[in-house]
Amino acid sequence: MSVASTATAAITEKPTACLALADGTVFYGKGFGATGEAEAELCFNTAMTGYQEIMTDPSYAGQIVTFTFPHIGNTGTTAEDDETNVPVAAGMVVKWDPTLASNWRTEAELTDWLSGCGRIGIGGIDTRRLTRAIRQQGAPHVAIAHDPDGNFDTDALVAKARAFSGLEGLDLAKDVSCTQSYRWNEMRWAWPDGYTPQNAPKHKVVAIDYGAKRNILRCLASAGCDITVLPAQSTAADILAHNPDGVFLSNGPGDPAATGEYAVPMIKEILETTELPVFGICLGHQMLALALGAKTIKMNHGHHGANHPVKEIDTKKVEITSMNHGFAVDSQSLPEGVVETHVSLFDGSNCGLRMVDRPVYSVQHHPEASPGPMDSYYLFERFAEAMAERKA
């Protein structure tokens, strides 16, 4: 896309929303959800289901999500599917107007849910063109606006997109983390009782909340864990005061190097002073890598979707996984004593690591798969087994 070019959606009525890119491109469409403006990084997600889980995933802080699948809104929304209290993504971009809900679990239409949560949506966009641009040029900085009267100062919106600081160097984990500790015992949803409590846990786990999804905590509970969740900036002393059997490092948003300023010293102390099993996911994977001496890099457009093939190197098994990350661990920087365990079959990037002599490991993808397939759930069971072996 050239600077100052304009792409106008094929609509027959006056546009009520627009998306302005930092390169001067402006997409016009139909607004829904909240009115107003927001600036963020633009990414695309290839999942065919789970738009509500995606919008409420704390890892999307500072981002607007383009959905490549056109049928958005068809299952409505329900509080059971929230990954956190309110949407964290700054907005959503879709090809068609949101579909009316047709699902027995629906509690509210998507448009009403977005309005109530203060998030902007724009439809009528050529999402194929937008996705190609993101893949070719990298995740752009954008400004989104929704005005029912269709009055837009596009020059000002482009300027706001250009002024957006971006995610590099930005610590967002502390913004989405809990502010005080809490207990969690709710397990995964199962028919016909829905969410039920874990009443017979076998392992005490401290989970560090860098932006933890509820379904990750539910998977830990279903694997037999009694979970205490602590804020992102907790110290090793805070963790060890709970006398845990294992430590879990959660997913989260932002630049891992920035979050690592306080997370890496804590993880290093845990590794140096204890033999506790440690399991990390997504940002937690990157935090563990930094603590072990590896490096992270900003990706061109990241991985966002529920259909990403990942190979486990030891077994050569291919898993279809859910992913949401814009930074990656540089596999060439892994130190001696740390091995790569998983790789992306899309681009060969690192998707997992482990210490060779200790039950300390992590993965880049989301094994809780909300949304997505359950191919990687075994990782939670592996964590439980490591804790059981250590106690035995």
Q: Evaluate if residue 96 carries a pLDDT over 70.
A: yes
168 is a domain residue = no
Q: Is the Cα torsion angle 363, 368, 370, 371 positive or negative in sign?
A: positive
Tokens of 246: 């294992």
CA distance 320 to 303: 13
Tokens of 372: 């997505």
Task: Give 13's pLDDT tier (boundaries 50, 70, 90).
Answer: confident
Task: Give 56's pLDDT tier (boundaries 50, 70, 90).
Answer: very high
CA distance 114 to 282: 26
Q: Examine the domain organization and report whether 230 and 98 are in the same domain.
A: no
Q: What are the phi and psi torsion angles at 214 (to 5°)?
A: -60, -35
Which of 129, 70, 119 has its CA nearest to residue 96?
Answer: 70
At 124-151, the pLDDT tens digits run: 999 999 999 999 999 999 999 999 999 9
pLDDT at 392: 87
pLDDT at 9: 40
Task: Give 12's pLDDT tier (boundaries 50, 70, 90).
Answer: low
Number of domains in the chain: 2
Query: Which residue shows structure tokens 């990390």?
Result: 280
Q: Examine the domain organization and report whether 185 and 316 are in the same domain.
A: yes
At 197-239, the pLDDT tens digits run: 999 999 999 999 999 999 999 999 999 999 999 999 999 999 9
Q: Evaluate if residue 34 carries a pLDDT over 90.
A: yes
Residue 71, classed as helix, strand or coil, is: coil
Mind telling me the catalytic residues? 282, 366, 368
Q: Examine the domain organization and report whether 158 and 251 are in the same domain.
A: no
Longest dimension (CA), the chain: 69
Q: Examine the domain organization and report whether 359 and 249 are in the same domain.
A: yes
Residue 132, classed as helix, strand or coil, is: helix
Q: What is the pTM of this model?
A: 0.95
Q: CATH no. for residue 133?
A: 3.50.30.20
Q: Are 203 and 246 in contact (CB under 8 A)?
A: yes
Tokens of 65: 């999500």
At 291-300, the pLDDT tens digits run: 999 999 999 9
Q: Examine the domain organization and report whether 90 and 194 are in the same domain.
A: no
Q: Examine the domain organization and report whether 156 and 230 are in the same domain.
A: no
Q: Evaluate if residue 99 carries a pLDDT over 50.
A: yes
pLDDT at 139: 96
Q: CATH no. for residue 226?
A: 3.40.50.880
CA distance 220 to 187: 8
Q: Which residues contact 223 (CB under 8 A, 6 or more apart)?
A: 380, 381, 383, 384
Q: Examine the domain organization and report whether 197 and 345 are in the same domain.
A: yes
pLDDT at 182: 98
At 339-381, the pLDDT tens digits run: 999 999 999 999 999 999 999 999 999 999 999 999 999 999 9
CA distance 355 to 353: 7
Q: Examine the domain organization and report whether 120 and 49 are in the same domain.
A: yes
pLDDT at 359: 97
Q: Examine the domain organization and report whether 142 and 222 are in the same domain.
A: no
Query: Of 94, 129, 163, which residue sits at a domain end?
Result: 163
Q: What are the phi and psi torsion angles at 271 (to 5°)?
A: -70, -35
Q: Are 308 and 301 in contact (CB under 8 A)?
A: no
Q: Evaluate if residue 315 carries a pLDDT over 90.
A: yes
pLDDT at 5: 36
CA distance 29 to 117: 21
Q: Examine the domain organization and report whether 130 and 222 are in the same domain.
A: no
CA distance 235 to 217: 20
Q: Are 184 and 229 in contact (CB under 8 A)?
A: yes
What mean pLDDT is reported for the chain?
A: 95
1 is a domain residue = no
Range of the domain at 69: 6-163
Question: How many percent of the chain have pLDDT more than 90?
Answer: 96
